Structure 1
Amino acid sequence: MKYIREVENIKAGIFSSCGIVAEEQRVEMSEKNQQDYFKIPDKCYNWSGVRVSSNALTKFVSLYILYPLMLILYFMIIYNIRFKKNISDITEVFISISTFTIITFRKTLLIRNGSIYEDILKKQSHYWKYYMFGKPTEMKLRKSMEFCVMVIKFLIASTTGSIIFHSIISPIIEGKIVLPQPCWVPNNDPVANDIIFALENIFYMEGTNYLVVFDGLYLLMTANLKTQMILLRKAVASINFREDEKTTWAKLKEYCEYHKFLLRIHGKINKIYSAFFLMTYVFTIMGTCTPLFVIFYEEADMVLLGKSVFIALILNTLLVMTFIPAGELEIEAEKLSFEIYSINWYETKNLKIRKFVLFWIMQTQIPVQMSGGGMLIVNRPLVLQVQRIAYSLTSFLAGLS
């Protein structure tokens, strides 16, 4: 009997050890997978040459050769409007300006804010793990991150398709080299035309990379920040003042510090994208005006109409991708603020804890919002406001014509 009991104890120990090992493996795998969502934009960021940690050769080519050429080509595209007299030609130039603004502005901000990007990405490792509050919560948070990865893959597929059409299919159909975007060609020189064609295609490919990095990182960083606010809200809801006061006090300090940490991350994201929010707002209004004006008030061929509608759809899609995540963050921050406000601090007799909670509640009264250049609040209602302003502006311009 003694032998049987010893065997059973050994078996129990083995199964217990296996369970611990399995749990440790699950936790390790979960932690690893949490960083995997950033793989695609991280690789593109390394290839871009604008990252602080990029190798010297890639950085030299990107910053000191391609970037000046991009700026020169951008100003040549803008200068081209001087030679256009009718609405059709001006519309085509505007489409070109919009396309290269999307590319140039993103690269400029990536260069300018490289150190802030590195700081935010480094601090992702300090985030709480998705599995902290059980499997259902973990799955919900992962679905949110997986959706962002799916959007990034869609961006890659759609922009790659656009490059193939403009660079390969269109010249074959036309039977000659056609510039993907109308640009001023000095003296209409064929050699200059070929050089501009090559440069536009290079910058198209660069633009795809920057779109994945700039917009992809924004989507993932805001989504990940939202998951952390959800986890913090659940942690705050679990506070019980009937527990030991030392334990409660330790939890309150930890959660408050983590809340401040998340707000600092939010502020850094806003610092990077503030000017971009304003640019997106203005260009989306202009981009939406163009097809409306062409459709309702001017005669235009189907090709021009298709191009103008296409660029308007792109700008509005980027607007939604930009403003909706910011609005979602604001909503989640409000929920967290309400959860902190709902803490039953009056159940404790400890004056220090009461004061701490009250001061924390006061701090949460400041709205957690993204701003565009300090001129507009980035949220979901702004998406509809853009459409109303565009329609009103189109009506006004039509009245002047």
Structure 2
Amino acid sequence: MAKKFRSDDISADPLRLLWLGQMHPFSPFRRSVAFLVMNVSACWLLAALAIKGIITSYKNDIFFVAECLQTCNLMFHGIGKFVNLFLHRDNLKKLLKNRSKFWKIDDFQSEEIYQELSEITSTVKKGLRYYYCGVVVVMLLFDLQPFATGSLPSGCYVPEGWFKSLTVMTWLLSLSFLNGVQGMDGFFCSISISIVIQFKMLTHRFKNMRLFHNESERKMWKELKELVDYHNFLTSYCKLLNTIFASIFLLQFLVSIISASVSIFIFMQPGAWSNRIKFILYYLAVVAETSFYCVPAEIIVNSASEIGYAVSELDWYKIRINQIKKCFVIILARTQRTMVFTGYGLVNMNLQTFVVYVKTVFSFYTYINSVRKIEK
């Protein structure tokens, strides 16, 4: 089951990456544990060496300190996502299994809705593939640094005789980051768009619901119950998704602010262009990652709210059957509850948070730059 990936599935490419990195929820448990231990151990080692680099260089090399800080940030980012993937294996299995209950686009006869949803699916799949191709290119540029500049891809203290070993370790770790970190980012984006498609199909069903026809009350009630049950299913599915990714939301927000701030600070300072380009690539990668969480979450919330608008446009209040009329009132009341994707209530994933993140990055950069000028 885990080895089969449907070509028409939006999540196929992210799930392939997770499978290759042994971080897929259906991967053999022992192999997942072994890869988790290796990845986390490598991240902790590089983080420890980066901390030592900060301690030994903070008085005479502010740029190397910034590189080491970036390395710490990157390693803790990886540790958080690797551990979260492992701890939520069971919930992720449930999430993937429940996708079998999703409605199929091909089952909808309306040419308009079919064309719209097919375009969304195709666009997202292409977008994810372009994203992964870009990540591979950036990863290769970073991994070639030992040959181009004689330094590690990630700045840290290098004990004597450790350079070659650390270089190989960073190469292997970059593959784990591609499979695990970027794989998880792509998975959230793809599964979110799948949910958006389901909400759009549900909205379409509500819009085209026939309230006044010659069919029996029982048939009308059956159709309404099916739609309500499916709305409840999608709501529960979103809650499960939020449970799995709550810690990632908080981690992504904190890591992205620190990483982007340091990246902009280094890029704006005079120095070697190879180093400045490396940090602007860091910045672009972090912006892309953060958008992979904020934008899909915002689209889900908007798509869920469209159901309320669709129901309100129906002439349900003209129905003489009180039981069905009360059911519509309950549906309207439930759709008024705003769906929220949040990191333990501390940060919400939406476009407003993304704007705050961008503003905070530049505010933090201005603060660091002003402190540096004062010290001069």
**Same-fold call, TM > 0.5?**
yes
Inter-partner Cα distance in structure 2 for 1:247 and 1:139: 29
Inter-partner Cα distance in structure 2 for 1:289 and 1:45: 29
Inter-partner Cα distance in structure 2 for 1:239 and 1:49: 45
Change in Cα spacing, 1:51 to 1:287, as seen in structure 2 (3 Å) is closer
Aligned AA for 2:303? E
8 Å Cα contact 1:277-1:322 kept in structure 2? yes
Aligned AA for 1:387? V
Residue 262 of structure 1: SS of its match in structure 2?
Answer: helix
Out of 80, 84, 88, the position equivalent to 1:109 is 84
Inter-partner Cα distance in structure 2 for 1:290 and 1:109: 25
8 Å Cα contact 1:237-1:339 kept in structure 2? yes
Inter-partner Cα distance in structure 2 for 1:193 and 1:33: 42
Partner of 2:187: 217
Residue 377 of structure 1: SS of its match in structure 2?
Answer: coil
Deviation of the 1:203 alpha carbon: 0.8
Show structure 1 runs of 4+ deviating over 4 A: 32-35
1:274 is the counterpart of 2:251 = no
1:235 is the counterpart of 2:205 = yes
Residue 36 of structure 1: SS of its match in structure 2?
Answer: coil
8 Å Cα contact 1:47-1:54 kept in structure 2? no
Deviation of the 1:47 alpha carbon: 2.5
Deviation of the 1:57 alpha carbon: 5.5
Partner of 1:6: none
Q: Which runs of 5+ in 2 are unaligned?
A: none
Deviating more after overlay: 68-77 vs 88-97: 68-77
8 Å Cα contact 1:152-1:212 kept in structure 2? no
Residue 348 of structure 2: SS of its match in structure 1?
Answer: strand
1:166 is the counterpart of 2:142 = yes
Residue identity over aligned pairs, in percent, reads: 15
Deviation of the 1:211 alpha carbon: 3.3
Please give the root-mean-square deviation of Cα atoms over the aligned residues, in Å. 2.4
Partner of 2:174: 204
Inter-partner Cα distance in structure 2 for 1:362 and 1:57: 47
Inter-partner Cα distance in structure 2 for 1:145 and 1:106: 26
Deviating more after overlay: 319-328 vs 224-233: 319-328
Partner of 2:50: 77
Out of 29, 40, 52, the position equivalent to 2:13 is 40
Inter-partner Cα distance in structure 1 for 2:26 and 2:273: 47
Deviation of the 1:333 alpha carbon: 1.2
Inter-partner Cα distance in structure 2 for 1:351 and 1:251: 16
8 Å Cα contact 2:153-2:170 kept in structure 1? yes
> Structure 2 matches for 1:1-400, cutoff 5 A?
35-55=8-28, 58-85=31-58, 86-131=61-106, 132-167=108-143, 169-174=144-149, 178-185=151-158, 188-190=159-161, 192-243=162-213, 244-294=216-266, 298-400=269-371
Deviation of the 1:294 alpha carbon: 4.0
Inter-partner Cα distance in structure 2 for 1:205 and 1:33: 24
Inter-partner Cα distance in structure 2 for 1:291 and 1:45: 28
Deviation of the 1:362 alpha carbon: 1.4
Residue 339 of structure 2: SS of its match in structure 1?
Answer: coil
Mark the structure with the bigger radius of gyration.
Answer: 1
Change in Cα spacing, 1:266 to 1:274, as seen in structure 2 (3 Å) is same
Change in Cα spacing, 1:140 to 1:390, as seen in structure 2 (3 Å) is same
Inter-partner Cα distance in structure 1 for 2:7 and 2:167: 41
Aligned residues: 363
TM-score (norm 2): 0.88
